[in-house]
Structure 1
Amino acid sequence: MSPRLLEALWQATLDTFYMVGVSAVIVWFAGLALALLLITTDRGGIFEAPRINTLFGSVVNGFRATPFIVLLVALIPLTRLITGTTIGVWAAIVPITISATPFFARIAEVSLREVGAGVIEAAQAIGCQRLRIIFSVLLPEALPGIIGGFTITLVAMINASAMAGAIGAGGLGDLAIRYGYQRYNTEVMVAVIVILVALVCLIQFVGDRYAYRLRHR
């Protein structure tokens, strides 16, 4: 591989890290907040509000049901409004974040639902305020599952970042399309695949180990 292609491969890898990294920070906080909203406003929840729960649940389901490539195109006007452009790394962050947030919210919601009702009732019995129950009971008890779910979300976001290359978003996906596919450069295509596989394996390993440590602390 020529020095020029090696430099392009390195820059594409950095762009992918940047895309996924910035999106991941937003998704962690937004997805977790959305999951808490869904779990606490459900029937029997500590902030029971069925109508709000139904509204947000429908929005989440709607975004989850939309294929990423369709969402990518549909969000072009919003992406242009927020970032001022529809190509490049920043343009990819918007659809990746919007796609991954409801995905992570549902996974985190499942982990939060696994917290035993008896634990919450015990906290209420000793006079814990509702917000304290959330931060001192719900989140700590569900954290291992949430970390595991976030690991899965990160892997999905890497896949999405590669797919975003189809519209010139930059990163490894864009490099694979421009050099690997359009110029029939098998060497570049193989290098991109190897990097993506290694990145996914590393994230999965770190996420699994951290979740394991939380479960056995």
Structure 2
Amino acid sequence: MTPQMIDRLWQALQDTLLMVGVSAGIAVLAGIPLAVFLVTSDRNGIFPAPRLNRIAGALVNGFRAVPFIVLLVALIPFTRLVAGTTIGVWAAIVPLAVSATPFFARIAEVSLREVDPGLIEAAQSIGCRRWHIVRHVLLPEALPGIIGGFTITVVTMIGASAMAGAVGAGGLGDVAIRYGYQRFDTTVMMAVIAILIVLVCAVQFAGDTAVRRLRAR
């Protein structure tokens, strides 16, 4: 572990955090509205639109069914259009966000469906508008489950970001492939694995702590 390799690992960690952080932000901004739509547009939802619901559900299932490495290659033209390149951190953010959004949307959807229907009926009986029910009943009640699902999503994205390193996306996966695997350097490989384990444990701990505090209120 030379000083140069330590610098490479530090830069790779920063690249991984950037990839996962930006992609996770996009997944939240797109995934929660998508989950709300899937729940509220159901046949028995507060904004019933069964046909649109089926279309949205089919699209979500379609993207979830594609393995990330396949999606990474299939989205190359779209990635080049959005990011202007197919190599590097910003190029990896596009497929990461596209892959994470439907995954997180389904997890958030499950949390939203677990909200007690009696609370929604009570809100309707006192004259609450439908959007107020979404904002003040559905989302607050489902928040612990949504945060727990977001934690799982981020952990999954950390693994996917390492996989993206195999195709020139940078980050810890790139260091593991180039300097660990291709040069048969077990020390570098073990260092990358250790960093990934610590990163996943930190994310999981933060998520579990947030969920416990929300449920205790």
Partner of 1:195: 195
How far the C-alpha of 1:58 sits from its partner, in A, is 0.1
Q: 2:27 corresponds to which residue?
A: 27
Alignment-mate amino acid for residue 164 of structure 1? A
In the TM superposition, structure 1's runs of 4+ consecutive aligned residues that sit over 4 Å from their partners are: none
Q: Which residue of 2 aligns with 1:69?
A: 69
Distance 1:102 1:87 in 2: 24
Q: TM-score, normalised by structure 2?
A: 0.99
1:179 partner amino acid: Y
Task: Tell me the distance in 1 between the aligned counterparts of 2:145 and 2:62.
Answer: 24
CA deviation profile, 1:18-47 (whole Å, cap 9, x unmatched): 000111111111010110010000011011
State the alpha-carbon separation in 1 of the partners of residues 153 and 133 from structure 2: 26
Alpha-carbon distance in 1 for matches of 2:161, 2:33: 23
1:41-89 residue CA offsets vs partner (Å, 9 max, x unmatched): 0011011000000000000000001000000000001000101100000
Q: Does 1:88 align with 2:88?
A: yes
2:123 corresponds in structure 1 to 123
Partner of 1:141: 141
Q: Quick one: distance in 1 between partners of 2:93 and 2:40?
A: 29
Q: Describe how 1:165-176 pairs up with structure 2 within 5 A.
A: 165-176=165-176
- Give the Cα separation in 2 of the matches to 1:174 and 1:121: 52
Shift of 1:166: 1.1
2:55 maps to: 55
- Tell me what 1:216 maps to: 216
Whole-Å separation in 1 of the counterparts to 2:4 and 2:212: 42
Counting only pairs closer than 5 Å after superposition, residues 174-185 of structure 1 correspond to structure 2 as 174-185=174-185
For 1:105, give the aligned amino acid: A
Structural mapping, 1:1-20, within 5 Å = 1-20=1-20
Describe the SS at the equivalent of 2:44: coil
After TM superposition, give the deviation of residue 156 of structure 1 in Å: 0.4
2: distance between equivalents of 1:140 and 1:29?
Answer: 16
Deviations 1:94-152 (A, max 9, x none): 00000000000000000000001110000000010011000100000000000000000
In the alignment, which residue of structure 1 is the partner of 2:43?
43
Which string of whole-angstrom CA distances, capped at 9 and with x for unpartnered residues, describes residues 137-172 of structure 1? 000000000000000000000011000001100000
Alpha-carbon RMSD across the aligned residues, in angstroms, is: 0.5
**1:106 is matched by which residue type in structure 2?**
R
Structure 2 residue matching 1:177: 3-state secondary structure: helix
In structure 1, give the amino acid aligned to 2:12. A
Rounded Cα–Cα distance in structure 2 between residues aligned with 1:19 and 1:170: 9
d(CA) in 1 for partners of 2:92, 2:45: 36
Please tell me the residue identity of whatever aligns with 1:100. A
Question: TM-score under structure 1 normalisation?
Answer: 0.99
Letter in 2 for 1:23: S
Who is 2:106 aligned against? 106
Instruction: Report the count of equivalent residues.
Output: 217
Q: Percent identity?
A: 70
